[in-house]
Amino acid sequence: MTNTISVHGLRKRYGDVQAVDGVSFEVAEGEFFGILGPNGAGKTTTLEIVEGLREADEGEVELLGLKPWPRNSRLLPRIGVQLQATSFFERLTAREQLRTFGSLYGVSARKADEMLETVGLTEKADERVEKLSGGQAQRLSIACALVHDPELVFLDEPTAALDPQARRNLWDVLRAINTEGRTIVLTTHYMDEAEVLCDRVAIMDRGQILRLGPPAALVRGLDAPTRVSVASGVLAAEDARRLPGVDEVTDDGVSLIVETRDPSSVVAALSAKDALDGVQIRGATLEDVFLELTGREYRA
Amino acid sequence: MSNFASFKSLSRALFLGFRRDRGALFFTILFPLLFLVIFGGVFGKQSTGKVEVVEIGAVPVLDQAVAHDASGDLRKTVKLSRNDDRAAALKKVGKGDADAAVEQSGGKIVVHYSGADQVKSGVVQAVVQQVANSANLAATGRPPTYTVDGQRVEDKSIKGINFFTPSLLGWALASAGMFGASQTLVLWRTKGLLRRLRLAPVPIPTVFGARVVVSLGIALFQLAVFLLVAQLPFFGLKLQNAWWMSIPLVICGVLTFLSLGMLVGAWAKTQETAQTVTQLIVLPMAFLGGSFFPLDYAPKWMQVLSYVFPLRYLNEGMLNVMARGLGPTSALPQMAILLGIAVVAGGIAARLFRWDAT
């Protein structure tokens, strides 16, 4: 089976900055693939080279068996790219916008209107794009990327600057698109988003891929402790330290927090002491993996 | 897929975007019309008002002349009033409320005039002189030996509405073309629309072609509105035989200004820069390219400088076919120059062109 995307040894330099430094990955047909990384990690440049917006200094890219650079008009109808939510024609309504983009791909007005329904914007069809909320504009820009029914879809931080409701609503839309059999590549810096949506993620920093794999496998590979917390006062900290499998115990006056790599034994022991008041168990997340790999210090 | 369908739909989208832009509508259509109304209305009719003359006491010579003014010529030129207070009458002249004061004692007529308006004071003296001469002649009882019959010759110098219609239109086209192109290009780049269009399978010339066609359509609409308004009786523009040559001229002009606008838009990084630079080009060009006053009356250095501005050629061509009444071929050199500038500016713009803001 051929991969939908195959990238080998990609490099791109801007002046003194090595923006992309030897990136290789493959994406299979129907996969939901995420590229994570802090700002300036090189994920946008990588995506732009893959989409065919920039030429790589070095390396090979193939999409659906075709090279995206130079501009390849046989490839373009088969891929859909969502850019920022502002990439619209001025002063057109949502419907006109989508029909115009559709016409660039030879898509009928009727099909364009159907896409409006897919992203749940039928009620806003006659609203000008400038009047749409952030979430609505984002959904419209995704609709513009999907209007020609592409096999491969690129989404660049689709949920940036959206409120929690709008994000979850958009996730549903994205999942539905993926279920239809389309391959999706997404960049984000929301770890929860990548964890929920992506089959596999690549964590990038300083132009390189640091880890690549399914989110759950990356989290397990981290070997980070699980934190079990109960209400403060149900158990003394000294008693907690003596429980089996406990690494560390802290009590901040609100919660007693037990770090462990054997959460099942700890919970069983707490249960035996009838000390499960307000229990919460929190495992490591992709965010922990991310911070472990890219460091915790703030980078502007 | 058909490129023509994409072209049509893009043109439609761009046209709707323009039609819904109140600011652009005002500045491309209404604002230049406002100028036409003001310039054409104020300077269009170069007729001088009546000369106001105050009689100090009775001036029988004048009164009789007005009374026997069969042709009405005198009443058309002179407005008479009477003030028996000599000091007050002279003060009126001094303040410019009246153009002259006239008094008569026996056979002597005295004209008091102010030097402020030489044309009007000249008219007053000539009129009074003529009235006195006619009275002298009548007093002899002999028929006049010589008579004068005035015949008006068609005025070939271009002034008033014949000048302002083509030249203000030239300014309007330059402004609309340059602002339209530079703003669109910068806006599309900064908003990421250029990149988005690059990722669509539509040929890039189709996208720019649609933009050009919409601009041409708007320009021809401007032309039609200008010609229709200027032909209203209030302005009184009379179209010359080869006026239709203004259509290809307008097309050449729009192509030139779009190219120049693209050049600014390709170079400028932000909308503010593009706007400022465009304004810095358009306004001096309108003045020195002869849109606001005829270059024929401008100082020599200004006339020489005007050759730098593309607008000069558009204005000149339009004046040739619309006002000077020259033949259709008289606009061809100007059209060739405009197209030449369009090609050069377009070529540089293409070299400077960037898809991305970064």
For the ranges A49-63, A251-265, B78-92, B158-172, the one whose mean pLDDT is highest: A49-63
Q: Could you tell me the pLDDT band of residue A293, with boundaries at 50, 70 and 90? A: confident
**Is the CB of B17 inside 8 Å of chain A's CB atoms?**
yes
Q: Could you tell me the pLDDT band of residue A85, with boundaries at 50, 70 and 90? A: low
pLDDT of amino acid B213: 96
Task: Tell which of A90, A126, A140 to mutate to test the B interface (max B CBs under 10 Å).
Answer: A90
Measure the CA–CA gap between A275 and A234, rounded to whole angstroms: 6
Cβ–Cβ gap A76/B17 under 8 Å: no
Cβ–Cβ gap B13/A81 under 8 Å: no
For residue A89, give the nearest of B5, B17, B198 by CB distance.
B17
pLDDT of amino acid B297: 80
Task: Tell which of A91, A111, A142 to mutate to test the B interface (max B CBs under 10 Å).
Answer: A91
Which of A86-100, A189-203, B121-135 shows the lowest mean pLDDT across its residues?
A: B121-135
Q: Which residues contact B149 (CB under 8 A, 6 or more apart)?
A: none
The whole-angstrom distance between A77's CA and the closest CA on chain B is: 6
Per CB-CB distance under 8 Å, the chain A contacts of B199 are: 51-53, 76, 79, 81
B158 has pLDDT over 70: no
Nearest residue on chain B to A106, alpha-carbon basis? B1
pLDDT of amino acid B159: 62
Cβ–Cβ gap A71/B1 under 8 Å: no
* Better-scored residue on pLDDT, B278 or A193: B278
Per CB-CB distance under 8 Å, the chain A contacts of B4 are: none
What is the mean predicted confidence (pLDDT) over B322-339? 91
Burial class (CB in 10 A: 0-12, 13-18, 19+), A293: middle
**Is the CB of B20 inside 8 Å of chain A's CB atoms?**
yes
For residue A106, give the nearest of B1, B12, B192 by CB distance.
B1
pLDDT of amino acid B95: 84
For residue A104, give the nearest of B14, B195, B200 by CB distance.
B200
**Is the CB of B96 inside 8 Å of chain A's CB atoms?**
no
pLDDT of amino acid A1: 52
A203 has pLDDT over 60: yes
pLDDT of amino acid A299: 66
Cβ–Cβ gap B195/A87 under 8 Å: yes
User: CATH code for A225-283?
Assistant: 3.30.70
The overall average pLDDT reported for chain A is: 88
Cβ–Cβ gap B200/A101 under 8 Å: yes
Cβ–Cβ gap B196/A105 under 8 Å: no
B109-150 per-position pLDDT tens digit: 888 888 777 777 888 888 888 888 888 888 888 887 887 776
In chain B, pLDDT over 90 holds for what percent of residues?
46
Nearest residue on chain A to B195, alpha-carbon basis? A53
Q: Could you tell me the pLDDT band of residue A112, with boundaries at 50, 70 and 90? A: very high
Which of A49-63, B37-51, B315-329 shows the lowest mean pLDDT across its residues?
A: B37-51
In chain A, pLDDT over 90 holds for what percent of residues?
43
CB atoms within 10 A of CB A130: 11
pLDDT of amino acid B332: 95
For the ranges A111-115, A118-122, A166-170, the one whose mean pLDDT is highest: A111-115
Per CB-CB distance under 8 Å, the chain A contacts of B5 are: 103, 106
Cβ–Cβ gap A105/B356 under 8 Å: no
B46 has pLDDT over 60: no
Measure the CA–CA gap between A82 and A174, rounded to whole angstroms: 12
pLDDT of amino acid B167: 92
The whole-angstrom distance between A119's CA and the closest CA on chain B is: 19
B55-113 per-position pLDDT tens digit: 888 888 888 888 877 777 777 778 888 888 888 888 888 888 888 888 888 888 888 88
Cβ–Cβ gap B196/A89 under 8 Å: no
What is the mean predicted confidence (pLDDT) over A280-286? 84
Measure the CA–CA gap between A192 and B48, rounded to whole angstroms: 82
B193-207 burial: b if 16+ Cβ within 10 Å, else e: bbbbbbbbbbeeebb
A1-29 per-position pLDDT tens digit: 568 999 999 999 998 999 999 999 999 99
Q: Could you tell me the pLDDT band of residue A77, with boundaries at 50, 70 and 90? A: very high
B155 has pLDDT over 60: no
What is the mean predicted confidence (pLDDT) over B33-48? 74
**Is the CB of B354 inside 8 Å of chain A's CB atoms?**
no
Amino acid (one-letter) located at A146:
L
pLDDT of amino acid B151: 67
If DSSP states are collapsed to H, E and C, what string results for chain A? CCCCEEEEEEEEEECCEEEEEEEEEEECCCCEEEEECCCCCCHHHHHHHHHCCCCCCEEEEEECCECCCCCCCCCHHHEEEECCCCCCCCCCEHHHHHHHHHHHCCCCHHHHHHHHHHCCCHHHCCCEHHHCCHHHHHHHHHHHHHCCCCCEEEEECCCCCCCHHHHHHHHHHHHHHHHCCCEEEEEECCHHHHHHHCCEEEEEECCEEEEEECHHHHHHHHCCCEEEEEECCCCCHHHHHCCCCEEEEEECCCEEEEEECCHHHHHHHHHHCCCCCCCEEECCCHHHHHHHHHCCCCCC
B247 has pLDDT over 90: yes
- The highest-level CATH class for domain A5-214 is alpha beta
User: CATH code for B51-140?
Assistant: 3.40.190.10
Cβ–Cβ gap B9/A52 under 8 Å: no
A56-76 per-position pLDDT tens digit: 999 999 999 999 988 888 999
- A281 forms beta bridges with A228
Cβ–Cβ gap A91/B21 under 8 Å: yes
Nearest residue on chain B to A154, alpha-carbon basis? B199
For the ranges A271-275, B151-155, B286-290, the one whose mean pLDDT is highest: B286-290
pLDDT of amino acid B113: 86
Nearest residue on chain A to B190, alpha-carbon basis? A87
Cβ–Cβ gap A92/B195 under 8 Å: no
A54 has pLDDT over 80: yes
The whole-angstrom distance between A252's CA and the closest CA on chain B is: 48
**Is the CB of B24 inside 8 Å of chain A's CB atoms?**
no
Domain extent listing, chain B:
3-44+160-352, 51-140
CA B154-B157-B159 angle, to 5 degrees, is 110
A128-137 per-position pLDDT tens digit: 999 998 888 9
